[in-house]
Amino acid sequence: MFGKVQTMYGQGHRAIKSGLARAHGMYTRSLHIAGKVNDIFQVGKKVAAIALPHLERYAPGIQAGGVKAIGQAESARGAAMHRFEDVQERLRDHGRVWEQIKAQVPQAKPYMA
């Protein structure tokens, strides 16, 4: 009976650990992609700062529309960054739970390596 419980505990621990590792990998890749998108956005803002005043001569009102679009993109970028911070906080929270388990159930330490 104890062997079955120990085996089930080990399988559950491995499943949780591999799930967290996969989530961390996906999160890391997402951060990398978000960094690239942010770099592209910063370049686009610099180009718009130069091009919009020039284009205003040929298409009146385009500068106001461009500034509005940049503002909307900035707010979307801010929301995405807030979401990344939420995910990071959840991962920290899961880590704290594991630490509490290790501290309060010393018998589980060998299985939580």
Model confidence at 112: pLDDT above 80: no
Please tell me whether residue 107 adopts helix, strand or coil conformation.
helix
* pLDDT of res. 97: 84
Residue with tokens 């960054």, as numbered in its chain:
81
CB neighbours of residue 58 within 10 Å: 7
Q: 3-state DSSP: the chain helix, strand, coil percent, rounded to 5?
A: 95, 0, 5
Residue 61 has pLDDT above 60, yes or no: yes
Give CA angle at 30 (28, 32), nearest 5°: 70
The model's pLDDT over 2-26, given as tens digits with 9 standing for 90+, comes to: 566 667 767 777 777 787 788 888 8
Model pTM score: 0.57
Q: CB of 91 within 8 A of CB of 24?
A: yes
